[in-house]
């Protein structure tokens, strides 16, 4: 049974997309070998420069499958509160004293978080997120 849709490939995309799907089918990535092969296919496409519409569509779909495969098979653990704060401070190039002044957070609180002695509170997360101009969810993974 074939579903009818208004989503159609036109022109060169009608040739390139099926050719790519035949060469490397769009399916869930189940192993490191499949992940590596999918990344190689993506690299080959990206090396071509300007892509046809069908190639762009295929690359987007394959990229989504690779991302899902990486998330499933190679998940990265969230850093500790101290690691997250240290990373943001280094990325912004600020010291504890400057962060304390800019975000109106006691320097002792920043020191305790960086030393791993104190977890971040919701209030602290909001202040830090505002100061670093990041979404609070970046810092709130522990909640």
pTM: 0.50
- Give per-residue pLDDT as tens, 85-116: 999 999 999 999 999 999 999 999 999 999 99
Q: State how far the Cα of 70 lies from the Cα of 72, in Å rounded to an integer.
A: 5
DSSP per-residue letters across 102-122: HHT--HHHHHHHHTTSSPPPH
- Give per-residue pLDDT as tens, 64-91: 999 888 877 776 677 788 998 999 999 9
């Amino acid at each position: 049974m074939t579903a009818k849709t208004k989503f159609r490939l036109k022109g060169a995309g009608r040739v390139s997309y099926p050719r790519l799907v035949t060469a490397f089918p769009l399916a869930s990535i189940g192993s490191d070998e499949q992940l590596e092969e999918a990344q190689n296919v993506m690299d080959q496409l990206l090396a071509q420069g300007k892509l046809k519409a069908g190639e762009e569509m295929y690359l987007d779909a394959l990229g989504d499958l690779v991302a899902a495969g990486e998330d499933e098979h190679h998940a990265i653990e969230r850093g500790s509160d101290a690691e997250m704060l240290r990373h943001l401070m280094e990325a912004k190039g600020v010291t504890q004293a400057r962060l304390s002044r800019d975000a109106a957070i006691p320097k002792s609180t920043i020191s305790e978080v960086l030393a791993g002695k104190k977890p971040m509170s919701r209030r602290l997360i909001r202040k830090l997120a505002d100061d670093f101009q990041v979404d609070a969810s970046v810092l709130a993974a522990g909640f």
